[in-house]
Structure 1
């Protein structure tokens, strides 16, 4: 039993029907939760050590690491029935969309730090860290997530190519039978 099937088996109706209908979105959300942990783990590791004075740079590096994890999980799990492009073309599109999403993700953190000046010595260390978390890991990540889901479905893993690939697989199975 897969993770999604396990979750769905414990979900009451009518929510189960909605989740089944939006299974791809559910998988994308699970991948997003995983990469959220990776992103924040790397960010805080860097931000509280070697990049203490450069939180935006630390966040950018963390996002890049999480994006690589995201590509692997989305390609092999969330959108595995979609796509059909050559792998290098698909990866290039994935990283272009993700690169744009990095900019979307960094804007709220940049505004918090450098426009609103929610940083030491203007505010306490606690207020700075709370503002960084809310702007970088909640607002920025939510905006980037919406942008990525739309971009991945539209350009990286389009359903038309996935349908074509599934149809070819069925045709091959019919000719081999």
Structure 2
């Protein structure tokens, strides 16, 4: 009986299948990241237009931190198929803290180094600059850092018993 992953792969156009199989953890990481990006946008703007009106970096930091918790749970369970050990908690917290800072840097630079904020620019220009620097550029740079760091330092032990499309298998050795 085919696994859910095998059923899903059967629906993908033939030329794309080998790429998806070869880079499945990256593809899953990007799906989780895209979902968490949307969550970050919602939380960020919810905070930015209510309780953090004059503190856009605080709003982005809180939104990123909350989405990071969701990202951890999804990446642990699905993208990297990590076993349920607690040994990844400390490296995850360290990587995540650095990544939140990396995510904030473009917004800090835009707002306070380039002065892309009111009264130096219009409100519309400020909001476009905030979105492009904090949400787009910051997220892209932090995402690249997270993928590399999570794979290298956090989720290093694959989960046993994943379905056959999830495992890298070697052909059996010949005897004789």
Global fold match (TM > 0.5)? yes
Of 88, 91, 94, the residue aligned with 2:89 is 91
C-alpha distance 5-31 of structure 1, shift in aligned 2 (>3 A): farther
Instruction: Report the equivalent of 2:17.
Output: 16
Of 103, 106, 121, the residue aligned with 1:105 is 103
C-alpha distance 153-5 of structure 1, shift in aligned 2 (>3 A): farther
C-alpha distance 86-43 of structure 1, shift in aligned 2 (>3 A): same
CA displacement at 1:16 relative to structure 2: 1.7
Instruction: Report the equivalent of 2:171.
Output: none
Instruction: Report the equivalent of 1:121.
Output: 119
C-alpha distance 144-3 of structure 1, shift in aligned 2 (>3 A): farther
Of 160, 168, 171, the residue aligned with 1:166 is 160
Structure 1 residues 1-177: aligned runs within 5 Å: 2=4, 6=8, 8-80=9-81, 82=82, 84=83, 86-87=85-86, 89-158=87-156, 161-162=157-158, 166=160
CA displacement at 1:9 relative to structure 2: 3.5
Structure 1 regions of 5+ residues with no counterpart? 168-177
Larger helix proportion of the pair: 1
SS at match of 2:160: helix
Provide, for residues 37-88 of structure 1, a one-character-per-residue CA deviation record: whole Å limited to 9, x for no partner: 11111000000111000000110000110000001101111111x4x4732x
CA displacement at 1:13 relative to structure 2: 2.5
Aligned residues: 159
Provide, for residues 80-106 of structure 1, a one-character-per-residue CA deviation record: whole Å limited to 9, x for no partner: 1x4x4732x212211210110111111
Structure 2 regions of 5+ residues with no counterpart? 162-176
Distance between the aligned counterparts of 2:101 and 2:44, measured in 1?
16
Structure with the larger RCO, 1 or 2 (CA within 8 Å, 6+ apart): 2
- Deviation >4 Å, runs of 4+: 1-5
Distance between the aligned counterparts of 2:125 and 2:4, measured in 1?
41
Distance between the aligned counterparts of 1:4 and 1:59, measured in 2?
38
CA displacement at 1:3 relative to structure 2: 7.4
Distance between the aligned counterparts of 1:149 and 1:86, measured in 2?
20
